[in-house]
Chain A
C-alpha cells in the first residue's frame, strides 16, 4: 500500500516536472529565441504542458525518475542514472534561462549613456539634500516612530494572551486544548504571512489614508509576530516550577501566572522592544502606500521628482533606523 503510494507520488513529481519543462520551453524560451524582443507577453499553452507531462511520465515508466531519486535520495543505476542527471541539469538551465527572459535582464541598460546620466542626476541630488524641509521631515519621522510605538503597545496585550494558547507545552493535554492551539496557530501564521504592506492597503481603504491605517496594519502584523515569539519562549520554560505549583492544588491560571509568567517577563520585554524597532522600519515602508508618516512624505516628493528633498528624507530615515537599532540592541543586552 505505502509502496504503491510512494511510486504514485514519485510519478506525479515526474509528470509535474515534465509539464513544467514543456510549458516553460514552449511559452517562454522558444518565443524569446525565435522572435527576440518582439516576443508577446507570456501565454500559457495547454498542449505544451500536456506533452511535457506525457514525456515526464515516460521517463518515470522506464525508471529514469527524478521524483523517485529525490524521495529515496539516491540515483538509479545504469543508463537511467545518466538520463536523470541530464534531465536535472536541463531543468536547472531552462529555469535560469526563463528567469533571465522574464526578468528582462539587460546589463547594457546599467551602463548606457542615458542610464549613466540618470544615475548621476539622482546621486547628485541625494547627496545635496534640501535642508529647508528638515523640520517638516523630522516631524514626519516622529509621527512614524509614534505610529510604530502605538502599534506595538496595542499589540502586546493581545499577543500576551494569545501566546499561552499557542504554546504547545501548555496546550497538549486535552483534545479541546489541542484544537484551540491548532486554530490560534493557524490564524496567527496566516496573518503573519500577509505582508504589513497589504494590510496597509486594506486599512487605508477601510479607515482612510493616514497614520491610523498604517498603525492598524502594523498592529495586525505585530500581534501575529509577537504571539509566535512569546509562544516559543513559553515552550522553553523550565517545567519544574510549573509542576511544583500544580502540586499545591492551584488552578491552571494560577499555575501559569506564578510559574510560567515569571520565567518569561524579561524575554517578552526584550522581544517587544525589538518589535518596536522593526515596526519603525516597517512603518516607513507602509507610509509609501498611504500609511502616513515619513514614508508618505517620501512618496510625495518622489512623485514630484524633487530628488534633493528625497535625499533629505532618506538621510533622516537612515539615521533614525540606525540609532533605534543601536539603542534597542543595547537595552536588550542590558536586560539579559
Chain B
C-alpha cells in the first residue's frame, strides 16, 4: 500500500535559529490512526505543521499522495492545505461567530475571495455544514455563538469545520489537552468514528499513554526533535517509556 504521507529527513530551524526537528522520517498509511507522543517541547506541533505546510521544512521532503509539497507556495499550497483538516488544543474557533458559520469557514479555501467575504455560501455548502455538525452530534447548537459552548462541544465544532474540507487527512494537535477526562474520551471517540467509519486518516499528537493505547493504530515518539520510537501501542514497554519521557517519569492513567 502506498503511503498517504511520506516525510523524509525533515529538519526545521525556526527564524530565531532554534532547531526544532532533526532528520525526522515517517510514513502515514491511508486509514491509519497514527499517534505522535513526546514531552512538551519535543517538536510534535512543529512536525504536524510541516505536514500541512503551515511551516516550511528547512531540509528534507514531504510528499502527500505522491506530490512533493515541501516547498509549494501560492495556489498549490492552498490546494494542499485544503485537503488536510486540522484541529487544535485551543479549538481556535471564531468565538463571536455562530457555530454554523465556524463550520462553513472550512469551505473558505474552495471559494473566491468575494464569495467568501460576502458570506455567499451555496445551499449545498450549508447542507454539508449541517451534516458535519450532525456527525459530531451538535446540530441543535448550530445558531449559538461559538463561545457559548463548553470546551468539548467547541472541539467538536472544530472537528466539524475540518470535516467541511472533506479532508484526506485529519491532523489533531493535542485535541484533548484542555479537556477533562470524560470529555476527552467523547472527543477522541468522534475522531475514532471518523477514522473507522468514514475512513479518514488521522495523525494525532497526544500526551496520555492510556489514550494512546486505546485509540492509536501506530505510534511514533519524538524526543528533542528526533524520532526515537516507531511501533505499535503495545510495544511501548516500561523501558521505552523511560527513554521517551525520562528516567523520573511515572505514567498516569486517564480513565
Contact = CB atoms under 8 A, between A and B. Distances in A.
Interface of A: 240-241, 243-251, 253-254, 257-259, 262-263
Contacts of B86: 244, 247
Contacts of A244: 86, 88, 92-93, 158, 161
A127 B220 CA distance: 83
Contact of A257 (B52, B82, B88, B117): B117
B117 A246 contact: no
B78 A249 contact: yes
Given A241-B94, A244-B158, A250 B54 contact: no
B108 A258 contact: yes
Given A248-B105, A249-B82, A262-B94, 19 more contacts: A240-B90, A243-B54, A244-B93, A246-B54, A246-B81, A247-B52, A247-B84, A248-B85, A248-B108, A248-B109, A248-B161, A249-B78, A249-B81, A249-B165, A250-B105, A250-B108, A254-B111, A263-B95, A263-B96
Interface string B90-117: 1111111100000001111111010011
Contacts of B82: 248-249
12 contacts: A240-B90, A244-B93, A245-B108, A248-B105, A248-B106, A249-B81, A249-B109, A251-B108, A254-B108, A258-B105, A258-B108, A262-B94
Q: Would you call the interface of chain A mostly helix, strand, loop, or mixed?
A: helix
Contacts of A263: 95-96
Contacts of A241: 92-95
Given A244-B88, A247-B81, A262 B108 contact: no
Nearest to B109: A249
Contacts of B141: none
Contact of B165 (A246, A248, A251): A248
Contacts of B107: 248
A254 B116 contact: yes
Nearest to A239: B92
Nearest to B167: A248
Interface in B127-175: 158, 161, 165
A251 B80 contact: no
Given A245-B105, A253-B117, A258 B79 contact: no
Contact of A250 (B91, B93, B95, B116): B116
Nearest to A259: B94
Contacts of B116: 250-251, 254, 257-258
List the 10 closest A-B pairs by CB distance, nearest first. A249-B109, A249-B82, A244-B92, A249-B81, A250-B108, A240-B92, A249-B78, A247-B86, A241-B92, A240-B90
